[in-house]
Every structure is written in structure tokens, then in C-alpha cells.
Amino acid sequence: MGKKRGMMSESLKTTLAKDLGFYDTVQQEGWGSISANDAGNMVKRAVEIAKQNLK
């Protein structure tokens, strides 16, 4: 199997983490340290942005 690729760009993830208030955690401990709740909120926000861009 091939290497897993993320669906979101690093830039988008960073922007969302800053907007949602947990970017400090990401900077200090990496993406693996965010909670499942924070990851879910990132996905929800990304979907909202995508829907807005389709209109």
C-alpha cells in the first residue's frame, strides 16, 4: 500500500487550528496531540468553508 496523504493542505489545517484556538498546542506538540473533538471541529469547519465556496 502507498503512503497515506492528508486531505487538507498544511496551510488550511494551520488556518483552521488558529481560528479554532488550538494552534499553540499544534506548535508545541504536533498534530498528533490534538483531541478528537478538535479534529472533528476542523473537519466541520472545512466542510462549511467548502460549501460556502460552492455557492
Print burial letters for 24-50: b (CB count within 10 Å at least 16), e (below 16). eebeeeeeeebeeebeebbeebbeeee
| pLDDT tens digits, one per residue of 1-55 | 456 667 889 999 999 999 999 999 999 999 999 999 999 999 999 999 999 999 8
Q: What is the CA radius of gyration of the chain?
A: 12
Q: Model-level pTM?
A: 0.80
Q: Which residues contact 31 (CB under 8 A, 6 or more apart)?
A: 13
- Tracing cell 503512503 back to the chain, one arrives at 3
